[in-house]
Structure 1
Amino acid sequence: MWTRKGDWLECSIPNFWSGLTIEQLLKNVWAASKKLAHRWRMEHGVKRNGEAVSWQTVLRERDRLQLHAYAPEPSLTVPEYRELSLLWEDDHLLVVNKEAGIDVHPSEPGQTGTLANAVSFYLQSQAILTKVRHIHRLDRDTSGAILFAKHPLAGATLDRMLAQRAIKRTYIALVHGRLSAKSGTISAPIGRDRHHPTRRRVSRTGARAVTHYRVLETFPAASLVELTLDTGRTHQIRVHLAHLGHPLVGDTLYGGQPVFHRHALHAAKLTFRHPFTNEEVVCLAPTDDFPVPLPSVDSKEHR
């Protein structure tokens, strides 16, 4: 349905978008930002059948819609080659299996050695000179699936999907001890720890945070747990499991024992409905770097 032509993307309008105006498709379906919409209006960055038309034009099935999606953008992310483990890719998005021990993005201009540096290099190798847009984050020592947008419109619509919980993330963790309940929900607000610059804690005045868990397997002194999130607070899983009395194995910041070289948390699965093709995308992130063998993740969302 979609074809890349240089800096432009073209699609043939399917029947489920027929009857919408260009403006409705851009703003209501894809959540285009005001800045991007203004730029495309001024620069004729949206065309129908090769011609710039009013955004009130009604689209019909099999119309050709062209978007100037890959207009070059200034970026502070330094491109740097690093081999990437790709789980999914098309002209709109990229899902990478992040290894542990690497930051998702630079914390200061000019920094290298992060996943974003490698993604920037990879996109430039495809002649895509847009900014690197990660849709969500993983801690430095957390491995697993992480989603990137290849152009600003994809970034905007994926951001909205994440806020609406339309992107489902499933994690696997190895924790100390045996949980008394085989499944449950941890609903405890999270705020900053005023005694530590990077640590978070459960706080009555913190932001709402909800984590669902299910025990997959138990060991003499540990449990393998599957987790899903209703919210995405910094260190949420780590804080909630420590609050429950079962910190992650290897997570010394939150009371875990250093019996593993990093904290035992892996983003094992990413599921969402593709906003530009309407297909279901399911990405499973394998890892050899975990203290116990991981079972396959159940395809059903845990609640």
Structure 2
Amino acid sequence: MTYQGAWSKRGEWLELMPGKWLLNQPDRDEATASWLLETMGMPAKLYRKLRHEQGIQWRGDRLRLILFPLRDYGIEPRWQDLHVLYEDDFCLVVQKPAGMAVHPDQQSQETTLNHVVASYYESTGVQTAVRHIHRLDKDTTGPVLYAKNEYAQLKLDEAMREKKIVRIYAAIVQGRVDPGLKVIDLPIGKDRNHGSRRRVSLTGQAAVTHVMSSEVYRAHSLLHLRLETGRTHQIRVHLSHMGHPLAGDSLYGGSAVTFKRQALHGERLWFQHPLTGEEVEVFAPWPEDMSKLQEWIRTSSSR
């Protein structure tokens, strides 16, 4: 359920042209409601809100929806350089650097990616709440998807729940991974002996990681992985449990001698555009430190 026609953003309003057939319906209000909910796929919660706030209007043959109301960022803008990978009026995808959390917690006053995105919005004249759709661990790099309005947030959150947002990761792990390892299907729960760790647990939440490809070197392997679920530390826990902790991941048994963080990078993000349903595929370049690690591993293996 998506919209395939022409659209434009005009201030706070989204203007659509659903066709004159809708204008000619005997009960246009009822027909408009049916079209928005069933054809466009607008979440019922948002439809009721817009209707209550008179945010659904007709102007000639154009249907106008107030999808871009001005909103506080919800977090203090703090400027840092930001690598934007994709952007339109509905979505923003940015590259998260290593050492930066996506959102703040109660214990730290450090600048997070959400602070930086708020600053980017401010600098580009966008006044909307900062809404991340998924997260990455603090020391993991890669793309993070943001919704730039409530409509996009509701649609993308639904896509996450239905496992329709695909995330592909590159991981450099210790040891030679068996090429026959294709799926790790092991539940994950909290580690009672360590507050920040997770572990494989029969009473934990279902967690599935797919191994899409592997390159095996002398003492390391490069894996490309797809998450079917998104448990905390899922890739790190699964690979450590299989005897192949991520290089640099000292929390889960990896050596930090040659690499100072977990060697994990979100390489690719795929999602359907929340309005049009078009496929959006975003590639995130490898960070320099991980590229150097891969080169060192390849060079060492050829000696």
Q: Give TM-score, length-normalised by structure 1.
A: 0.85
Change (3 A) 1:148 1:30: farther
CA contact (8 A) 1:182 1:215 kept: no
Q: Is 214-223 or 87-96 further displaced after alignment?
A: 214-223
Q: Aligned residues, how many? A: 280
Match in the other structure for 1:32: 43
Q: Aligned partners of 1:7, 1:14: CA distance in 2, in Å?
A: 22
Q: Deviations over 1:251-290 (max 9, x none)?
A: 0000000020210000000112212123211100002230
**Gapped runs of 5+ residues in structure 1?**
51-62, 294-303
Q: Aligned partners of 1:109, 1:13: CA distance in 2, in Å?
A: 49
**Gapped runs of 5+ residues in structure 2?**
1-5, 296-303
CA contact (8 A) 1:87 1:283 kept: yes
Change (3 A) 1:234 1:26: farther
Larger gyration radius, structure 1 or structure 2: 2
Q: CA RMSD in A?
A: 2.6
Match in the other structure for 1:284: 283
Match in the other structure for 1:244: 242
Instruction: Classify the secondary structure of the residue corresponding to 2:136.
Output: coil
- The residue type paired with residue 237 of structure 1 is I
Match in the other structure for 2:55: 45
Q: Aligned partners of 2:31, 2:84: CA distance in 1, in Å?
A: 35
Q: Is structure 2 residue 237 aligned with structure 1 residue 227?
A: no
Change (3 A) 1:167 1:267: same
Change (3 A) 1:273 1:137: same
Instruction: Classify the secondary structure of the residue corresponding to 1:122.
Output: helix
Q: Is 199-208 or 118-127 further displaced after alignment?
A: 118-127
**Bigger proportion of residues as helix:** 2
Match of 2:106 among 105, 108, 132: 108
Change (3 A) 1:24 1:133: farther
Change (3 A) 1:100 1:6: same
Mapping for residues 1-303 of structure 1, pairs under 5 Å: 1-13=6-18, 21-24=31-34, 26-27=36-37, 29-32=40-43, 34=45, 36-49=46-59, 63-108=61-106, 111-258=109-256, 259-287=258-286, 288-290=288-290, 291-292=293-294
Change (3 A) 1:40 1:126: farther
Instruction: Classify the secondary structure of the residue corresponding to 2:116.
Output: helix
Q: Give TM-score, length-normalised by structure 2.
A: 0.85
Change (3 A) 1:43 1:184: same
